[in-house]
Amino acid sequence: MSFATLGLDPRILSAVTNQGYHTPTPIQQQTIPVILEGKDVLAGAQTGTGKTAAFTLPVLQLLSKNTSKVNNLQVRCLVLTPTRELAQQVADSVKAYGADLPLKYAVFYGGVSINPQYDQASRGLDILVATPGRLLDHLHQGTVSLSELQILVLDEADRMLDMGFIHDIKRIMARLPKERQTLFFSATFAKEIKELADTLLKSPVLIEVAKPNSTAEKIEQLAYRVDSQRKREMLSYLIGSRQWKQVLIFSRTKHGADRLARQLRLDGIEAGAIHGDKSQGARTKALDDFKNNRLSVLVATDIAARGLDIEELPIVVNYDLPQVAEDYVHRIGRTGRAGNSGLAISLVTPDDLVMLQAIEKLTKQVITQQVLPGYEHDPKMNHSSKKADAEEERVQKVASRNKQLAKEKAKLRSQLLGKK
Tell me, what's the pLDDT at 343?
A: 92
Give domain limits for the chain: 3-208, 219-383, 394-420
- The model's pLDDT over 28-38, given as tens digits with 9 standing for 90+, comes to 999 999 999 99
* Residue 231 to residue 322: CA distance in whole angstroms: 15
Tell me, what's the pLDDT at 310?
A: 74
Contact by Cβ (8 Å): 175, 80: no
* Residue 84 to residue 304: CA distance in whole angstroms: 9
What is the average pLDDT across 74-84?
93
* Residue 415 to residue 323: CA distance in whole angstroms: 43
Tell me, what's the pLDDT at 391?
A: 57
Q: In what order do the strands lie in the sheet with 205-208?
A: 105-108, 125-130, 75-80, 151-154, 181-186, 41-44, 205-208
The domain defined by 219-383 folds into: Rossmann fold (3.40.50)
Task: Give the confidence band of 417 by pLDDT, cuts at 50, 70, 90.
Answer: low
- The model's pLDDT over 247-264, given as tens digits with 9 standing for 90+, comes to 999 999 999 999 999 999
- The model's pLDDT over 225-237, given as tens digits with 9 standing for 90+, comes to 999 999 999 999 9
For residue 183, which of 161, 150, 230, 210 has the smallest C-alpha distance?
150
Q: Hey, which of 166-170, 273-277, 343-347 has the most confident mean pLDDT? A: 343-347
The set of residues, in sequence order, having a beta carbon less than 8 Å from that of 165 and lying 6+ positions away, is 82, 132
Tell me, what's the pLDDT at 2?
A: 87
Question: What are the phi and psi torsion angles at 353 (to 5°)?
Answer: -65, -35
Region of 142 on the Ramachandran plot (φ > 0 left; ψ -120 to 50 alpha; else beta): left
Q: What's the full length of the chain, in residues?
A: 420
Contact by Cβ (8 Å): 363, 332: no
Tell me, what's the pLDDT at 326?
A: 83
CATH number for domain 3-208, candidates 3.40.50.300, 3.30.470.20, 1.10.10.10, 1.20.120.420: 3.40.50.300
Tell me, what's the pLDDT at 351?
A: 93
Amino acid (1-letter code) at residue 114:
I
Task: Give the confidence band of 204 by pLDDT, cuts at 50, 70, 90.
Answer: very high
Same topology, domains 3-208 and 219-383? Answer is yes
Tell me, what's the pLDDT at 251?
A: 95
Tell me, what's the pLDDT at 107?
A: 97
Q: Please report the beta strands in 16-74, taking only residues with DSSP state E, as ranges in sequence order.
A: 41-44
Tell me, what's the pLDDT at 387?
A: 55
Specify the pTM. Answer: 0.66
The set of residues, in sequence order, having a beta carbon less than 8 Å from that of 204 and lying 6+ positions away, is 39, 40, 41, 42, 182, 184, 197
Average pLDDT, the chain: 87
Tell me, what's the pLDDT at 80?
A: 96
Tell me, what's the pLDDT at 171?
A: 93
Cα-Cα-Cα-Cα torsion 188, 223, 368, 353, nearest 10 degrees, comes to -80
